[in-house]
Structure 1
Amino acid sequence: MRKTLHCTACGAALSVPLNILSGKDPAVPSLEMLDAKPITPAGTGFKSYEPIERSFSATSALLEFVPQYWVNPDDLTDAVRITKNMRRLNGCCGLDGCDGPNQLCSCGAEIGTLRTDCWTPRVFIPVPTLTEWREEELR
């Protein structure tokens, strides 16, 4: 069953329909985390039970939550826009995603973090409380 990511504030579709693979499915091969390369191929999302980032201090990293979904940035719709909050736009050659959600829905809701820097894999990670997955309706 294919699913589409939506904004919970306004209902806008944030992704194209995706096949979601689960990190708990033993038939799903492990994913490669390569710098500047997408974690998943276009058309495929991944539900991870391991965070993309960990902190080893008393303060948790902003992306240290599970489960989290990893979406290929090429699968986002035009409803997804970059934030104007300059403190969240750090990076060398792209966005490092280390400073909080840097992507907005067209309605203004902070819906996720995009990582596109040269030292990070290319991935969009939605905020679970501000987004929801909807199953594609059969026609």
Structure 2
Amino acid sequence: TPMVFAGDEIGLEGAWGEDSRRTMPWDRPERWDQGTLGVYRDLIALRRGEAALRHGGLRWLHVSEDAVVYVRERAGERLLILAARAAHRPVRLPLGARCLPVYGDAELSPEADGTVTLPADGPAFHIWRLARS
């Protein structure tokens, strides 16, 4: 479940303890990070629009220090998700499916044996729709 804390959605800064509880500038939208707010809005709309993200089961495919990969799925719908907090080693998965971009700009091209190599950049967040080849 996604979590937003005390102004994350507008780029409100703060480190630890009391510094992380700075006053929310409700009446000063010029101080908001519009790019960050736009990403949050896009992700909220994506979650609302994809039933598998709200009601689907979860299957872990890869977990490392800096990246996690999982599938959210329900009848007739499978979404592959990569969340990376930093650059990481490339992840190769034997998916046997076409990967159609839903969020993020990474195109995936399956190899002849059906494996795909996910992007290794970070921080990054990508979602692909899995379709049978």
Identify the structure with the greater helix proportion.
Answer: 2
Which structure has the highest strand share of the two?
Answer: 2
TM-score, structure 2 as length reference: 0.29
The structure having more radius of gyration, on CA atoms, is: 2
